[in-house]
Structure 1
Amino acid sequence: MKKTITCLFTLCLGFSLYTAHAQQSADVPPDQPVVMNGIEYGYTVRNESKKEVGSKGMFGRYEVTLYVTNRSGCSKIMMPRQTFTGLQYQELLADFDCLNATGMRLTSKSGSLKAKEFYVPYSTSTKGPDGKVVTTSVQVRVGNMLRNGESVTNDVIFIVPEGEKPTLRVRMQELGDF
């Protein structure tokens, strides 16, 4: 009985921690970014054409650039989380889902944007075999960062039914100030 209660408590705690890191989502209008805490999430259509897909008919083919831009006035850093298996780096900035994409002909139904890795120098001193102090410096990964004014982009191709434009929704990560 005691083991069952402990397992249930652990499961509830794990679920509550998982939901605490839940993503927020929003619909993204064409050529108008969604702004959340000074971060712009948007997309631009680079090219639009029509494509016949076998016997299924005509479809709209859209070459799209997804972007996340930091206009908050400060850098955003994503620190790693401690898990049961070690550190888990949080690099995902946003997931864009095209709600009406077909995914035909090896095209996308979604796209992701990831922050760049962030390193800091770390120096340590040790005694060498000859008794002299040797200082070594290494770069240590601290997390991932989106600097102020920086943009991250990703190019994807969506195929949607003819006469429709891509309908995108973005799932955003919570970013801390640095």
Structure 2
Amino acid sequence: MNPFTAFPALLTLLLIESTVVAQTAYDISENQPAVFNGIEYGFSVRNESKKDVGGKAFNRYEVTVFATNKSSCTKLFFPKQTIFGQQNNDLLAQFDCLNATGARLTAKNGSVRAKPFFVPYTTSAKTADNKTVTNTVQVQAGYWLRNGETVASDLILIVPDGEAPRLKVRVQEFTDQ
């Protein structure tokens, strides 16, 4: 086997494995949210109706997926550099509907994201006439989820007739460094 073709394949497998290991998945139901690291992940059904899609009957659900910080402290998430740059640093969880059809351009999954937080940063600079000018700017330092705060996202799911949405949540694990 040519080492130049084996190395990219090995690198790809390692990257996929590191991505898979970084997330824990939980089955959730409307009355049974998952709790991980003090954050509760769940969903609630806002509306339910029946729809005909292509001559077949389906159930249409309007769902809100959410993450609520119940840890009694604010959670801070700092940007982490990856091989691909800084991507999805604000992603808390990905919700996948296992029985959603995706018909009529409806969702099969959704996500919840933490809100950015900013800190003041003060700089000093000399002007042409040798005066010092001080400026304070707000710099994004990361993302946060305050104690008791809920972040949510709305989804429309179409599932087979007679079924309720079956959701699985993939929780983004943040390591302490």
TM-score range, shorter chain: 0.7 to 0.9
1:38 corresponds in structure 2 to: 38
Aligned positions of 1:1-178 closer than 5 A? 11=11, 15=15, 18-19=18-19, 22-55=22-55, 57-84=56-83, 86-88=85-87, 90-175=89-174
Q: Distance in 2 between matches of 1:66 and 1:24?
A: 17
User: Following TM superposition, by how much is the alpha carbon of 1:155 offset from its aligned partner in structure 2, in angstroms?
Assistant: 0.7
Structure 1 residues 103 and 85 mapped into 2: Cα distance closer, same or farther (>3 Å)?
A: closer
* CA contact 1:89–1:143 (8 Å) conserved in 2: no
**Residues 171 and 59 of structure 1: is their aligned pair in 2 closer, same or farther, counting only changes over 3 Å?**
same
The one-letter code sitting in structure 2 at the alignment partner of 1:72 is: S
Q: Extract unaligned runs of 5+ from structure 2.
A: none
Kept in 2: contact 1:81–1:89 (CA 8 A)? no
**Which structure 1 residue ranges, 5 or more long, are not aligned?**
none
What RMSD over aligned residues (CA atoms) do the two structures have, in Å? 2.5
Report the TM-score, using the length of structure 2 for normalisation: 0.86
Against the structure 1 CA distance between its residues 122 and 94, is the aligned structure 2 distance closer, same or farther, given a 3 Å change threshold? same
Task: Provide closer, same or farther for how the CA distance between residues 48 and 176 of structure 1 changes in structure 2, counting only shifts above 3 A.
Answer: same
Q: Distance in 1 between matches of 2:105 and 2:77?
A: 32
Secondary structure at the residue paired with 1:63? strand
TM-score w.r.t. length of structure 1: 0.85
How many residues are matched?
A: 171
Identity of aligned residues (%): 55
| Separation in 2, partners of 1:176, 1:73 | 19
> What is the CA distance between 1:161 and its match in structure 2?
0.4
Find the residue that maps to 2:63 and give its secondary structure.
Answer: strand
Q: Is the 8 A contact 1:51 1:61 kept in 2?
A: yes
CA distance in 2, matches of 1:87, 1:94: 17
Cα distance change on mapping 1:19 and 1:45 into 2, 3 Å: closer
Per the TM alignment, residue 107 of structure 1 is displaced from its structure 2 partner at its CA by: 0.6
- Which amino acid in the other structure matches residue 125 of structure 2? T
